[in-house]
A and B are shown apart, each in its own frame.
Chain A
Amino acid sequence: MSLTPDRLVVICVGYVAFLFLVAWIGDRRAKAGRMTWLRSAPVYTLSISVYCTSWTFYGAVGSAARSGLEFVTIYLGPTLVFLGWFWLLRKLVRLGREHRLTSIADAVSSRYGKSPALAILVTLIAVVGTTPYIALQLQSVALSFAAIAGEADHTRTAFWVAAGMAAFTILFGTRSVDANERHHGVVAAIALEALVKLAALVAVGVFVVFGVMGGVGETFARMPADMIDPETVFGPRWATITFLSATAIICLPRQFQVTVVENLDEDHLRTASWLFPLYLFLMCLFVLPIAIAGLDLLPASANPDMYMLSVPLALGREDLALLAFIGGFSSATSMVIVAAIALSTMVSNQIVMPLALRTLHGAGAISGDVRDLMLIARRISIAAIFALGFFYFQLTGGSDALAAIGLIAFAGLAQVLPSLIGGLYWRGATRAGAMAGLASGALVWAWTLFLPSFGPDGLLSAAVLAEGPFGLAWLRPEALFGTEAGDPLIHALLWSLGLNTALFILVSQATLPDALERVQGALFVDVFHPRLAETGNDGVVRRQASSEELFVLAQRILGASAAQRLFEEMARAQGIHTGLPRPTDDMIARLERQLAGSIGAASAHAMVSRAAGIEDVSLSELIEIADETQRLIATSERLADKTAELERTAVELREANTRLRALDAQKDDFLSQVSHELRTPMTSIRSFSELLLDEELAPEQTKRFVAIIHDESLRLTRLLNEILDINRLEAGASEMVLEDVEAEAALSAAIETLRPMARSAGVTLVPHAPLDGYTLRANPDRLRQVLINLISNAIKYDTAPEPRVEVRWTAHEGVLDLDIIDNGGGVSREEADRVFSKFVRGLRSGQTQGAGLGLPISRAAVRRMGGELSVVFDADQTSFFRVRLPLARVPAQPAPEPAE
């Protein structure tokens, strides 16, 4: 088989098609909720190995051939970081989950009071540091393609690789703006690529060591004498690069993406703590032998960076060379994909969206759903990042400047380290400190390392490099203040990180954090403190709501233009002139109040808390459990009532009871959810009272905090009442007195109560056909509560342009059906099952009240009265709520059937 360029292209395209397939299956399985292997710790670990790019795959061998053992430092740093997972990574992952961090920029800005300026700064550093790295991947694919298929047009190869990867990333990286920014399909694909690159490297290694050299000892026997010099191996570069690579595994945007953002289960980290170092170990095991073989077998002119391909080729093993090529291709593509996703998330969330909202608003073009805009922004960002990488490659392609870019990028991202680590462990760190450290570090890095990396007369003229700018010798890029360290990397790192850390600490000491920064700081530093760990996503966490989410919510409820005006006003009040306001407590409280004007206070709170993201997997699981428990209880009650078929029912009852007992344990979870809901307001109250106790506050601020405390106490009371209510109803603890109730009187009374609300909401209440003569068997208070709950829901969530709500009824066979119908379409089939579960809130329609207990309470009440409350679907898929209650008496002369 001869590897012609055409054939190689076919193989590449086939391989990429296979990746598409894997990603597609991964996404589908995730969507269907069947994530068995996708959720596993090994897949998580493999996805972290996106750390090993083509720079590892080809470059490690090249580096070993040039500087001996030094290459392992790139992997020792990450190994040490993962060994210490319990103290750092676990904290990051926990914070990522609790604060819904979407990127490293988000993490840093979140810690320092959601500072937009910090987010933009980190994003810029990430883009500047990563673009060359993407170019490096394109170059390595182009080079390897040429090495294996003979001469080829590098630019063309790089272009098609960039285009293909951009398509893949846009397709699988931006399917939806996931609340968690997780991409299951992409993770599946890069986990597979991780296996491919490991297999390729090990295959070539085994072949070289055992197939060609004849053993480990024999291999090292042919090592050039000067390859490993014991005297210099543990020099300053050894420690520097180990430190740098440890930093990289924490700070690189793509590593943050796979380690923190894509993490599904904190416990996976426990496996990754040894499995990832093991992966790196295996990747490194054969690097030295392959380098030795290359030096031994190939002419001195051969490029060591291509030994992975040229060694098997020289030995006539085209199949192994092809495998190695695919391995390198895998390393390059997986890095590029994840880096592009991470960068595009940052760019679109922190830069494009705020700008776009402002610009589009100016043009009056924004309407409807902001999510579409978000997706477009993200897709354009991805395309732009790839284009940037490609042009960078074209600009510098073929030059040696790219070879060192891996470490240069590491050093750039390392500037984030002081603010990040400081923010995690030091409460005293302030926004101003982080800003000063980051900005100074980034500037020094650019001046001393990044700009000179383009070579003399690249971006800096040779004169500036040699003499300093304007002849100021003390500003020479590679010898600041006359300190020539011999190695530009060490020199740049010392100055940039040194200044960065010093300014970070000094400015932090000199400035005071504002209230929000202090709360965020405490939340980050003490994330594992039992008091906070238990409370988790609550209270102050409402500050984690992203402005975008709240904006979407506001648009849906208030309409596009009103929402725009409100948010702009709130941004101005915060002194922000561009983009969205920061989601501070103030802002959320104000938004809540504003929404309450449209949909009622409790529902507004429910919706805002939901938008603030207090929903996670465990909650939905919990709801399922609660659902099933309720179903089972209903079943066993029905069975108990039946006297016939006693034999069979007894068996079923026993089974149901067994399952109930099993579920009993899970019900404990439900209880903990209840207490969680209670803690939400409690934590707010506590935080604000602490602020009040600790601080000398301005009177108006004091007043505001007290108002929040007051609001939260009211919320707490309401919640407690509802929980007590539903418990009473479900447990049947109190006797429910049933009496004869005039149906017409009960319905009219309920409607009259709601008439003012309907009027202010602009909803027309269609008069119902009179129910004269019908008498229900019910508890009058409960009946009224149920009717008011259902009709007020219909009024609140009728989103039709001309909302109308009406109650129709039909009587048959001793029961009366009351249908509460609005022209807003009702709830969807999916939602219909969920609306009766406890603590389900904020669905677009079919709302529940307060803590999400309104509908469950109504259903329990109706059932206690011997009736049923259900969602009924019309032929046109619209739905309405139906209350069925037993009739005590019907009119002697049946009233005419109500008109349709």
Chain B
Amino acid sequence: MQRARETLGQGARAVRARKARDAGLLLPLAGLVLLMPPVARLFAVDAWIGGVPLVVAYVFAVWAGLIAAAYLLGRRLGATPAQSEDD
């Protein structure tokens, strides 16, 4: 029973580690999609938000969001062992 629980815990950890690594690939792709046309073009309209052109606000906001996500991801990737990938 004890052993079974441990194995289960290890499995969950491995899954979490894999998810973190996948997120590491997903993040730059998400950035690419958000910052490139056609998605970015949705925000390329003559509108203003808080005194700033929407395009400018959008680009900088996405940028800041990506940095925050990278910070969180870095912490998660650091918590997972670097080995045992490509397995």
Contact = CB atoms under 8 A, between A and B. Distances in A.
The judgment on whether A and B are partners is yes
Interface of A: 69, 72, 76, 79-87, 215-218, 220-221, 223, 228, 230-231, 233-234, 238-239, 242, 266-267, 270-271, 273-274, 277-278, 281, 284-285, 288, 526, 528-530, 533-534
Contact of B86 (A79, A230, A288, A526): A526
Given A84-B25, A285-B60, A217 B51 contact: yes
B14 interface: no
B70 A234 contact: no
Given A274-B67, A530-B87, 15 more contacts: A72-B63, A79-B63, A83-B28, A86-B24, A215-B51, A216-B50, A216-B51, A220-B48, A220-B51, A220-B53, A230-B45, A230-B54, A231-B44, A284-B60, A529-B86
Contact of A528 (B25, B54, B85): B85
A230 B56 contact: no
B40 interface: yes
24 contacts: A69-B56, A72-B59, A79-B67, A80-B28, A82-B70, A83-B70, A84-B24, A84-B25, A84-B27, A84-B28, A85-B24, A216-B51, A228-B53, A230-B45, A230-B55, A231-B44, A238-B36, A239-B36, A239-B37, A270-B78, A277-B63, A528-B86, A529-B86, A533-B83
Interface in B34-77: 35-37, 40-41, 44-46, 48, 50-56, 59-60, 63-64, 66-71, 73-74, 77
Given A83-B70, A529-B86, A281 B64 contact: yes
Nearest to A234: B37
Given A218-B51, A220-B53, A242 B35 contact: yes
A238 B35 CA distance: 9
Nearest to A532: B86
B31 interface: yes
Contacts of B36: 234, 238-239, 242
The 3 residue pairs across chains A and B that have the minimum distance between CB atoms? A217-B51, A86-B24, A84-B28
B2 interface: no
Contacts of A231: 44
Contacts of B85: 528, 530
Contacts of B60: 281, 284-285
Contact of B56 (A228, A234, A242, A274): A228
A234 B32 CA distance: 13
B21 interface: yes
Nearest to B32: A80
A270 B63 contact: no
Contacts of A69: 55-56, 59
A277 B35 contact: no
Nearest to B27: A83
Contacts of A278: 67
A80 B63 CA distance: 10
A374 B72 CA distance: 45
A216 B52 contact: yes
Contact of B55 (A217, A233, A270, A529): A233
A273 B74 CA distance: 7
A231 B74 CA distance: 36
Contacts of B41: 234
Contacts of A84: 24-25, 27-29
A85 B66 CA distance: 13
B70 to A, nearest CB: 4
A808 B67 CA distance: 71
Contacts of B46: 230
A238 B53 contact: no
A685 B70 CA distance: 42
Given A72-B59, A234-B44, A281-B67, A87 B52 contact: no
Nearest to A225: B46
A530 B74 contact: no
A217 B86 CA distance: 50
A242 B84 CA distance: 33
Nearest to A281: B63
A215 B52 CA distance: 11
A220 B77 contact: no
A658 to B, nearest CB: 29
B35 to A, nearest CB: 6
Interface in B9-35: 21, 24-25, 27-29, 31-32, 35
Contacts of B37: 234, 238-239
A72 B31 CA distance: 14
Nearest to B45: A230
Q: Which of A81, A230, A266 has the most CB of B within 10 A?
A: A230
Nearest to B59: A72
Contacts of A218: 51
A704 B41 CA distance: 63
Contacts of A81: 28
Contacts of A528: 85-86
A742 B68 CA distance: 77
B28 A76 contact: no
A79 B84 contact: no
A233 B53 CA distance: 12
A223 B35 CA distance: 23
B63 A76 contact: yes
B44 A530 contact: no
Contacts of A79: 31, 63, 66-67
A226 to B, nearest CB: 12
B9 to A, nearest CB: 21
A533 B45 CA distance: 50
A230 B63 contact: no
B59 A530 contact: no
A238 to B, nearest CB: 7
A87 B66 contact: no
A69 B56 CA distance: 7
Contacts of B32: 80
A274 B59 contact: no
Contact of B31 (A83, A233, A239, A530): A83
A80 B51 contact: no
A111 B86 CA distance: 20
A533 B81 CA distance: 13
Nearest to B75: A270
B35 A76 contact: yes
B86 to A, nearest CB: 5
A880 to B, nearest CB: 46
A581 to B, nearest CB: 34
Contacts of A534: 83
B59 A221 contact: no
A230 B44 contact: yes
A266 B78 CA distance: 11
Contacts of A271: 74
B59 A277 contact: no
Contacts of B70: 82-83, 273-274, 277
A288 B56 contact: yes
Contacts of A266: 82
Contacts of B71: 274
Contacts of A533: 83
A160 to B, nearest CB: 38
A618 B54 CA distance: 52
B29 to A, nearest CB: 8
Contacts of A87: 24-25
Contacts of A83: 27-28, 31, 66, 69-70
Contacts of B56: 69, 220, 228, 288
A263 B56 CA distance: 34
Contacts of B35: 76, 80, 242
A225 to B, nearest CB: 10
Nearest to A288: B56
B31 A80 contact: yes
A230 to B, nearest CB: 4
A68 to B, nearest CB: 9
Given A72-B59, A216-B51, A270 B74 contact: yes
A216 B49 CA distance: 11
Contacts of B25: 84, 86-87
A686 B59 CA distance: 52
Contacts of B44: 230-231, 233-234
